[in-house]
């Protein structure tokens, strides 16, 4: 699945055909892209989506960072939209997000 919106919805447990939360999810995705832009990942002019047509390759075509970008966007959306109630899981996800941010910053700073 290459659609940014559809893949994030799937990972947070929203069916493709359910558009009830699309606006909220899109806003959170765009916020994650703004965070990534701040650390030098993605197009220098910034990037945002407005629907399901936007694809991951539109944001970054570097396969070295694509998987990390997907995880970063997912975790950012998940932690805001539907955070886990179990403290240890929440802490684990927050730590993973910090690690991804650091790794992406290093990878994109060295290119």
Residue 41's pLDDT is: 93
Kindly report whether the global pTM for this prediction surpasses the value 0.75. Answer: yes
pLDDT < 50 stretches in the chain:
none
| Paired residues of 55 in beta bridges | 3
Measured between alpha carbons, how far is 51 from 24 in angstroms, rounded to an integer? Answer: 11
pLDDT tens for each residue of 64-92: 899 999 999 999 999 999 999 999 999 99
Please check whether residue 4 is in contact with residue 72, taking contact to mean a CB–CB distance below 8 angstroms. Answer: no
**3-state class (DSSP) for residue 76:** helix
């Amino acid at each position: 699945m290459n659609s940014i919106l559809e893949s994030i919805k799937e990972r947070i447990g929203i069916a493709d055909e359910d558009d009830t939360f699309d606006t909220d999810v899109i806003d959170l995705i765009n916020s994650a892209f703004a965070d990534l832009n701040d650390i030098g990942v993605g197009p220098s002019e910034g990037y945002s989506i407005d629907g399901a047509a936007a694809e991951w390759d539109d944001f970054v075509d570097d396969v070295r960072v694509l998987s990390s970008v997907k995880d970063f966007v997912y975790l950012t959306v998940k932690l805001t939209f539907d955070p886990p109630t179990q403290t240890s899981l929440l802490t684990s996800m927050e730590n993973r997000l910090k690690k991804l941010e650091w790794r992406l910053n290093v990878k994109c700073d060295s290119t």
